[in-house]
């Protein structure tokens, strides 16, 4: 295992912007890039107010060193106009460790230069994994506690009879993962609200956790 100042860079935006972002990342030597499909949770009124357009989103995820992540985050913000209508948001999550071979590869392709973004830690990523069809309930609870919106990914639970026996619950195979970026000061309230309405004792069989966010682009 290997420790170091590494970041998971995430961009949530419409597909054309993500394609541009991928080209920017590869031009800086970032090769380990993953794309996922998701959907936004903004209501019709919010979409109309902010010009958010389609709820279909693409998520770009890339593991880089902290310096490259900062440069890319700043580049995304300037060249993709993040924060403007019909754009998206980007943020980085600290990575505490991983396989040495993976991080040796990241270091080999790292960019030398001035960091493009100072870290603020003002935001937290709240993640809720719930039964299919429960993402709207998650967002209803989250918004009631001060969250503004989120992104839903469809996922599938891998069978584990042992886990089911231990927790004495029956979880659907098809699940939804809801990513919600919130102010750190609201983290506890948002997590508590989701857990109260969509937690393990509810029909949603939800699991909720949070991760620190190092820096962001596209958030007011």
pLDDT (0 to 100) of residue 46: 39
Residue 209, beta-bridge partner list: 127
How far apart are alpha carbons 119 and 203 in whole angstroms? 38
Across 106-214, the runs of DSSP E, i.e. the strands, are: 123-131, 151-156, 174-183, 207-212
- The secondary element (H helix, E strand) that includes residue 39 is strand 33-40
Residue-by-residue pLDDT tens, the chain, 220 positions: 344 588 999 999 989 999 999 999 999 888 889 999 888 775 544 343 333 444 788 999 998 888 899 999 999 999 999 988 778 899 999 987 655 555 554 555 555 544 445 566 789 999 999 999 999 999 999 999 999 889 999 887 665 555 555 455 555 678 899 999 999 999 999 999 999 999 988 999 899 999 999 999 987 6
pLDDT at 220: 60
- Using CA atoms, how far apart are residues 1 and 140, in angstroms rounded to an integer? 40
Q: According to the model, what pLDDT value does residue 69 have?
A: 92
Domains observed in the chain? 6-108 (3.30.70.120), 124-211 (3.30.70.120)
């Amino acid at each position: 295992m290997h420790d170091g100042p590494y970041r998971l860079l995430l961009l949530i935006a419409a597909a054309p912007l993500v394609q541009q972002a991928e080209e920017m990342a590869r031009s800086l030597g970032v090769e380990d890039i993953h794309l996922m499909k998701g959907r936004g949770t903004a209501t019709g009124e919010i979409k109309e107010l902010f010009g958010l357009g389609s709820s279909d989103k693409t998520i770009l995820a890339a593991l880089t060193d902290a310096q490259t992540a900062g440069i890319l985050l700043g580049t995304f913000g300037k060249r993709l106009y993040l924060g403007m209508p019909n754009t998206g948001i980007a943020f980085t999550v600290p990575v505490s460790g991983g396989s040495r071979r993976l991080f040796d590869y990241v270091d080999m392709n790292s960019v030398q230069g001035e960091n493009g973004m100072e870290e603020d830690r003002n935001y937290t990523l709240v993640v809720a994994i719930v039964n299919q069809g429960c993402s709207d309930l998650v967002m209803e609870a989250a918004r009631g506690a001060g969250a503004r919106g989120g992104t839903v990914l469809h996922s599938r639970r891998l069978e584990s009879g042992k886990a089911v026996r231990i927790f004495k619950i029956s979880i659907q195979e098809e699940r939804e993962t809801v990513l919600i970026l919130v102010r750190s000061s609201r983290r506890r309230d948002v997590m508590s609200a989701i857990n109260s309405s969509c937690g393990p004792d509810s029909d949603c069989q939800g699991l909720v956790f949070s991760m620190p966010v190092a820096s962001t682009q596209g958030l007011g």
